[in-house]
Amino acid sequence: MKVAVVGSGIAGLAVAHTLHGHAEITLLEADEHFGGHSRTVDITLATPQIWRERGARPATSFHVDTGFAVFNERSNPNLMNLFNELGVATAQAQPSMSVQLPGALNGGKLEWSSAGPGAVFAQSANTLNWRFVRMLGELPRFNALAARLTRRGQDDELMQPLGDFLRQQRFSDEFRDWCLLPLVACIWSCPVEQASAFPLATLVRFSQRHGLLRFGQRSPWRSVLGGARNYVDRITASIADRRLNTPVRLIERDAAGVRVLTDGAAERFDKLVLATHPDQALALLREPSAGERATLGAIRFQPHRAVLHTDATVLPDSRRAWAAWNYEDEGAQGIDQPPARAAVHCLLNRLQPLPVTQPVLLSLDPLREIAPEQVLAEWDDAHAVFDLAAVRAQAGMAALQGRQHSYFCGAWMGDGSHEDGLRAGLAVARVLLIEAARQGAGPT
């Protein structure tokens, strides 16, 4: 059985890896690297003069992961199994989140972090700030209420927008604006206005899986030792027909199978796996069905500008408040108006073992231009928007699978995590294994 896999993110790699030896796989990737969101970048940093005087090396070359960087052992069983199978080593990571909001404290800047008790009260005056202390006290109430709704199966309440739920349950503005919405914005790299429109179920599902909102009860998090490309290279090495810089231009489907058109080539396949963003999949299909248009078209993606750099001034002023993910916005534009712009700064030193103490950061949509001499790389990126329309569309994906010899998979079919992408790819691969066995291609 000939199978075309379009897209080499974790979902596409899962399909290709699982079908190895059972089908003839062609992996098509438009980009110049395999792995999709697993992007490992090589960089070289000159050591500052003060370090050279202390005997440090004058320059250091190493790599950083700038997309998929960490995973939670408890909530990523398939990913752990894959890494064990491939013999991929992992290292400990230090997940945490910080918030910096200009004008939040009577015109002054608010800073706090989840990295520990000292980080929570990085601004010591907040120990006497009743609004701040009340915000912290609302975390257990939110967790308890969300857990109760989940146990009862209260789908109507779980599907209501997060902002509406917070107002209905009389959570404070501080809990909403200083804690919960920045947390959601950090997780899904979206503006707080979008975060407020997410269904409560989106956050609850992610929080329960990953142990969020429970300070002092963190689950172990890890990163891939040697960079995420370590596992990507081990998978792609076994795929005989793998093609970089090969964008698919058009896909035609008929009763016999599919026809995939790339620059200067048109090839026939028995089955097609679109491991791309849903909008990209729709753009490739010559005649998408009404169901494909409605379901795939309901899942939107938020574009981002990603900048890899060494400018630590984007982090909180108090070093105690530095965290793995650092939320920053421009401040509210008026009463009950969300901030016009927001940024997330990932302090990569906290997420993966780097051989330098100099901060290395990945900023999504930085609020000001980073000095050119501190920029290491930049590119465009996009993340799924898990609003109510997307959550409803996810429920309709099962009806599309296998129609016209086509299958779809990606992290956007879950909550956007690497485990969700892997799970979606494995689900498609299992169906295709059965198809391959029927054609006598091998055992299931």
Q: Which residues contact 283 (CB under 8 A, 6 or more apart)?
A: none
Nearest CA-CA partner of 143 in 175, 189, 117, 174? 175
Q: What residues does each domain of the chain span?
A: 2-37+227-299+388-438, 97-222+302-384
Q: How many helices (H) and strands (E) does the chain have?
A: 16, 20
Residues 6+ apart with CB under 8 A from 341: 191, 329, 330, 365, 367
Residue with tokens 């947390």: 183
Q: Please name which of 198, 153, 166, 190 lies closest in space to residue 388, comparing C-alpha atoms.
A: 198
Q: CA distances (Å), 366 to each of 63, 329, 330, 343, 363, in order? A: 22, 9, 11, 5, 6
> How far is C-alpha 152 from the chain's CA centre?
29
Helix (H) or strand (E) holding 440: none
- Per-residue pLDDT at 216: 44
- Taking the chain (444 residues) in runs of 10, the rounded mean pLDDT of each run is 97 98 96 95 75 58 92 88 95 91 86 92 95 94 84 76 93 94 88 87 80 58 92 96 97 97 95 97 97 96 94 96 93 59 93 92 94 94 91 94 97 94 98 87 49
pLDDT at 18: 97
Are the beta carbons of 3 and 270 closer than 8 angstroms?
A: yes
Q: Return the CATH number of 2-37+227-299+388-438, one of 3.40.50.1970, 3.50.50.60, 3.30.2080.10, 3.40.50.720.
A: 3.50.50.60
Strands 2-6 and 271-274: parallel
| Side chain identity, residue 104 | A
pTM score, whole prediction:
0.90
The predicted pLDDT at position 332 comes to 61
Domains 2-37+227-299+388-438 and 97-222+302-384 share a fold: no
Please tell me whether residue 156 adopts helix, strand or coil conformation.
helix
User: Which strands form 375-384's sheet, in the order they lie side by side?
Assistant: 108-113, 97-105, 325-329, 342-347, 361-364, 301-309, 375-384
Phi–psi pair at 29, nearest 5 degrees: -125, 125
Given this structure, which CATH class describes domain 97-222+302-384? alpha beta
Give kind and range of the element (H or E) at residue 231. helix 229-236
Identify the bridge partners of residue 265 per DSSP, sorted by sequence position: 262
